[in-house]
Structure 1
Amino acid sequence: MSDTDRRIKTVVCGATFGQAYLAGIEQLPESFELTGMLARGSAHAQDCARRRGVPLYRSVDELPADIELACVVVRAGIVGGAGGELTQALLARGVHVLQEHPLHAEELAACLHAAKRAGRQYRLNSFYPDVEPVANFIAAARRALAVRRPCYVDAACSVHVLYPLLDIIGRALGRLRPWSFQVHRVDGAAGPFTCVSGQLGGVPLTLRVQNQLDPRDPDNHTLLLHRIELGTTGGTLRLDDTHGHVIWHPRMHLERRGDGVLDLSSDAPSLALPTATLLGRAETASYADVFRRVWPDAIARALLRMRDNIVSGIAPTADNQYALSCCQVWQQLGALLGPSSPMSSGLGEPLAAGQLMAAEVGA
C-alpha cells in the first residue's frame, strides 16, 4: 500500500463536541482508522468509546506509539481548559494535531512552535467555514469579489461563535488586515445585542453581538449563530443563517431616457435579473440532520485537509499565519466587548414554523 493510500491512525480527545469528530472520522473509513479516545473517563466518554469498539485512554502517556493523528476537541486556556497543554504534549510525543478553536494567539503560537520542534503537522480548525451553507457563502463571495468591489459587511452572531464569524468574513474577503473596531454602548435596557462598527480587511463593518451567557447552561440560549451580508458594487450576498440559505440580490439600477427621466419600461438586461436568487440547496436541514450529517460533513472536510498535510509533509504555513491573525482580531474585539452578561434560561421551547402558518390561515 502506498503512503497516499494508507489509513491514518487517529484518536479523538474530548467526548462532548468530540462526538462530531467521531462522526466525521466514520465518514472516511478509507482514509482514517479510529483507534481510541482520550478523555477523563466520564460515563459518557466510556460509552462513546464502547459503542465504537475502541479503548478509552486517560493520558497522553497511555497512547500507543503508532498513533499518528489526534483531534483535540478540548477547551483551550482562553476558555478555562487544558486543550493547549494537551496539544503540545501530543506534538512532543510525535503525534500530528488537528485542534478545535478557539485559542489565545499566544497559545496558538506555542502550539505552532511545538509542532515545528517535533516536525509534526498542526492545524487550528474553526469548523464553521466548512459547514455547507457557510462554505457556499465564502465561495460565492470570492467569485463576486473577483469581478466587483466590496462596499460593506453587516453581520450578527452570538458571542459563542464570534471567532468563526471573523474567520468566515476574512475568508470571504480574502484578508483580515487592516482591522479596527469601536463598540457602541447604550445605557439602560438596550436589548441583547452589543453594536460594533469599524472595518475588517479594510471593508466597512457593522456587527451586532449577543454578548450573553447562561452560566448554568453556557452552550445554549443563543438567539442566532451567524448572519452575514456582504454588499458589493454588483449586488448583495446574504447568509441568512449558519445552516440556512445563501441568497444573491443584484443591485437595482434604473435606466434614464435621453431627457433624463427614469425609464421604468426599459428593456435593459439588468432589469431582467431576478431580485433574489437562491444559491445552493432550497431545502434546509433539520437540527437533527445538522448533527447527523451537516456537522460530520464539515469535520470530514477538515480531516481531509489535515491528511493531505500529513501525507505530503508540507505544513500549512499560510493557513497557520492567517489563524494567528484571526486570533488577534478575536482577542482585540473580545477585549472591547468585555465580559458576557449573565442571562436566564427562560427562552422557552423553540417555535415550529407550522404554528406560524396555522395562525396566518386562521386569521
Structure 2
Amino acid sequence: MMDKKLKAVVCGAGFGQFYMEALSRMKDRIELVGLVAKGSEKSIKCAEVYEIPLFTSKDQIPEDIDIAFVILRSAMLGGAANEYTEFFFNRGVHVLQEFPIHPDDVRNNFRKARKNAVCFHVGDFYLHLPQIRKFTEYVKRLNEICPPSHIQMSLAAAVSMPALMMLRDMLPSANKMELKCVSDNETPFQVILGNIDGVPVTAEIHNEVNTDDPDSAMYLLQAFNVIYETGRLSLQDPLGDIFWYPKIKSSVSRYSSGAAAREADKDSGLKDGAVSLSFYGAQAAEKGTNEIWVQAIISDIEEMLEGITDKAAYMRYSQKTMTGTAQWESFNKLIGFPKRIDGVKASPEQKDMLIERITEFITEK
C-alpha cells in the first residue's frame, strides 16, 4: 500500500492525453499536478481540460514530484524523452517512459534508476489490452495440453517488443530464439523464420517509416495465429476478435463410394466452422475504443505502482523487461533499420472512397 498519494506530471500533450485521463481516474493514489509541454494550443487546451498548470520548461516543474510519465518520442525517433527521463531520475523521481526505447537506453535507465533509488517502467499498455490478455491466457491453457505446432505473426516493427513479450508469456520458456531474416529491405514486409523455445515461428514485419507522417505509416499492429493439431487460435488485431478455426479433416475413405460430393460431410472439421471466442465489437460498443486504451494504461500504471511498493515485484519486472529487451535487440538486428518512405500512396479523396466502399460492403451483408 502507498503511504501517501503520489504527485505526478505528464510530459507530452499528444498521446499523453490518454495518460492524463487515466491518472484523473486514480486520484485516490496519484495526484496529477501538471503537464510538461512546449506551450502549443493543444497543450494549453489539455491543461484547461484537466485543470492543471502547464509547465513549458524544466525549471518550472515543482521540486516535490514523485512520479513522471514521459510520453514523448525517444532519442531513437528524434525526440526528447531520454533527456526528460534522466532529468527526473536526477531529481529522485520514478519514471514511466513510453516505448519504443532503444535497448541501450532501457539498460541505462534501469541502471540510473537503481543509482537514484527510484523505479523505471517501460510504458507498454498493449500487453494490458483485454483481447491481448485473453488471447495470451487461451494460448497458455491450450499449451497445458500440448505445445503449438507453429506460430505465425504479422506486426509493425514499432510494436515488435510487445509482441515478443507476448510470446514470452505464451510459451513455457521463450528464452531460446533461433531466427533468421529471409527477405531483403526492398519490400514493405520483412520475413523472419526460425523457432522460439523449439516452436516453429514465421513472422512478417512491416518495417517502414513515413517521414512525412510517422504515426500513420503502420498497415497493421499485431496479428497472431497459434496453430495446434486440431486447429488454430487467431487474433487478427489487438482491437479485433479472437477466433478458433477447426482444422480441415478429410479421410481417404470418404471417396470410396464415388459420390463423395453428394454425401453428408460427416468428418470435416468445417461442419462447425470458425468459432468466435471473444467478440471485440461488443466491448467497443459498450466502452468505445478510447476507453479501452485508457483502461489498459491504468492497468500498466498499476503494475508500476506495485513495483514502487514491492521490491521483489520490481526485481521480477526489471529482469523480465531486460531479458525481453535483449531479445528485441536481436530481433531488430535481423530486420535492420526501417525503410524511410516519403509522401502518401493514396490521396485524401482515395482514402475517403475506400472507406465509403467498405461501408457499402457492410450494408450489403
Structure 1-normalised TM-score? 0.84
* Closer/same/farther in 2, CA of residues 106 and 357 from structure 1, 3 Å limit: closer
Partner residue, 2:360? 355
1:62-211 pair list within 5 angstroms = 62-185=60-183, 192-211=188-207
Q: CA distance change for structure 1 residues 196 and 51 in 2, over 3 Å: closer, same or farther?
A: same
Percent identical: 26
C-alpha separation in 2, matches of 1:234 and 1:37: 52
Counterpart in 2 of 1:212? 208
Offset of residue 49 of structure 1 = 1.5
Higher relative contact order (CA 8 A, sep 6+): 1
Q: Which structure 1 segments of 5+ residues have no match? A: none
| Partner Cα separation in structure 2 for residue 31 and residue 174 of structure 1 | 35
- Taking the aligned partners of 1:52 and 1:282, their CA distance within structure 2 comes to 30
Measured against aligned partners, the alpha-carbon deviations of 1:44-73 in whole angstroms (never above 9, x if no partner) come to 222211221111223444332332111111
Say if 2:224 is the partner of 1:228.
yes
After superposition, give the CA deviation of every residue in 1:156-182 in whole Å (9 maximum; x if it has no partner).
112232222222222222543211322
Alignment deviations for residues 119-173 of structure 1 (CA, whole Å, 9 cap, x no partner): 2122112221111211211121122212221221101112232222222222222
2:355 alignment partner AA: L
53-62 or 120-129, larger mean C-alpha shift: 53-62
Number of aligned residues: 350
Poorly superposed stretches of 4+, deviation over 6 Å: 253-257, 264-268, 270-273
Of 167-176 and 234-243, deviating more is 167-176
2:26 aligns to what? 28
Aligned to 1:330: 328
d(CA) in 2 for partners of 1:94 and 1:325?
A: 25
Which whole-Å CA distance do the structure 2 matches of 1:46 and 1:315 have between them?
A: 37
How far did residue 298 of structure 1 move?
0.8
Q: Hey, what's the Cα distance between the residues in 2 that align with 1:45 and 1:201?
A: 46
- SS of structure 2 residue aligned to 1:356: helix
- Cα distance in structure 1, aligned partners of 2:64 and 2:160: 37
Are 1:299 and 2:297 matched, yes or no? yes
TM-score, normalisation: structure 2: 0.84
Deviation, structure 1 residue 297: 0.9
What is the one-letter code of the residue matched to 1:221? A
Contact 1:212 1:343 (C-alpha < 8 Å) held by counterparts: no
Residue in 2 that maps onto 1:319: 317
Question: Cα RMSD (Å) of the superposition?
Answer: 3.2
Following TM superposition, by how much is the alpha carbon of 1:36 offset from its aligned partner in structure 2, in angstroms? 0.8
Please report how far the alpha carbon of residue 256 of structure 1 lies from its aligned counterpart in structure 2 after TM superposition: 10
Q: Distance in 1 between matches of 2:58 and 2:184?
A: 48
Q: Does 1:54 align with 2:59?
A: no
Quick one: structure 1 residues 313 and 326, their matched pair in 2 at CA, closer, same or farther if it must change by over 3 Å?
A: closer
Q: Contact 1:250–1:276 at 8 Å: present in 2 too?
A: yes
Q: Provide the C-alpha distance between the structure 2 equivalents of 1:272 and 1:231, rounded to a whole number of angstroms.
A: 16
Structure 2, unaligned runs of 5 or more: 258-262
- Distance in 2, Cα, partners of 1:233 & 1:61: 61
SS class of match (1:219)? helix
Stretch deviating more after TM superposition (86-95 or 160-169) = 160-169
Q: Which amino acid aligns with 2:205?
A: V
Q: Match of 2:260?
A: none
Number of the residue aligned with 1:344: 343
Output the CA distance in 2 between the equivalents of 1:180 and 1:39: 43
Distance 1:67 1:168 in 2: 33
CA shift for structure 1 position 31: 2.8
CA drift at 1:275: 4.1
Residues 130 and 267 (structure 1 numbering): CA distance in 2 closer, same or farther, change over 3 Å? same
